[in-house]
Amino acid sequence: MSRLGDLIRTERIRQKLTPKQVARKCGVSESYIMAVEAGTRIIGDDQARRILKTIGLKQQNEAEFTLDDIASTVDLAQVQPALAARAAAAKVKVKEAEKVASTEEKDEGIAGSIWLDALQSVMKRVPVMNAVMKPVKYKLVPVENGRIEGANPDKVFYYLVPDDSMQGFRIRRGDLVLTVPAQSPVDGAVMLINYNEHRYLRKIRILNDRQVLLQHYDREYEQETAEISDVGFLSRCVQVIFDL
């Protein structure tokens, strides 16, 4: 079954609709809907969104996943084995929901989208923050054992690099840096800091228990000695995403 076909089938079941009823609402044949759900007929994201909207799924739900987010998500079975296992578990839930729908039993557990609930457990919608720490967009990031890079998923964010002051460390303007919380200096790490009333990305070198070197590299290498007490350590950078 395709990713979108799975979602359409789940939402149809949640709305207690038959394939024929959905087909009539969408102006297509029953066999068309059944083929889409089975994954034997490939449809575009726009058509899938129209079907889902007709069924009654809103563009955004409690988990804050839009249909565009879902459509652009990679196949969960290819992300990593742990995600594949959870995706399989989600399909089991779908089958259970079908049984409930077939007997027309009311089950509050189907009040939300089963597929989206399962997706939320393995993917997190992580904000991309600009230089003034305002979200400008979001990216879906895999969650492993309830963590992202060992951190609480709610505390993780991408930082949109505002300048080329770190290009000597292969971090350039427009790159996205995934950061995890860190309130103390980490020797050798690139960190997001507050210093002299400005926010910077800097490579950290610990000199002693009171001082650190703040290193950056634009056209030439520069460093500054700072008192640890004068630096606000916000987060540690663990990954950089850049466009070719």
Percentage of the chain lying above the pLDDT 90 cut: 40
- 68 with 178, same domain: the answer is no
Model confidence, pTM: 0.55
Q: Distance (Å, rounded) from C-alpha 135 to C-alpha 138?
A: 8
- What CATH number did the domain enclosing 74 receive? 1.10.260
Look up the domain containing 163 and give its range.
147-241
* Amino acid 71: pLDDT: 44
- Domain stop point among 57, 88, 123: 123
Number of domains in the chain: 2
- Domain stop point among 66, 88, 123: 123
**Inter-residue contact 195 to 214 (CB < 8 Å):** yes
Give residue-wise pLDDT tens across range 176-234: 999 999 999 999 999 999 999 999 999 999 999 999 999 999 989 999 999 999 999 99
Residue 18 pLDDT > 80: yes
DSSP state for residue 113 in the 8-state scheme: -
**Inter-residue contact 190 to 237 (CB < 8 Å):** yes
Give residue-wise pLDDT tens across range 118-161: 555 578 889 999 999 999 999 988 888 888 988 999 999 999 99
Percentage of the chain lying above the pLDDT 70 cut: 70
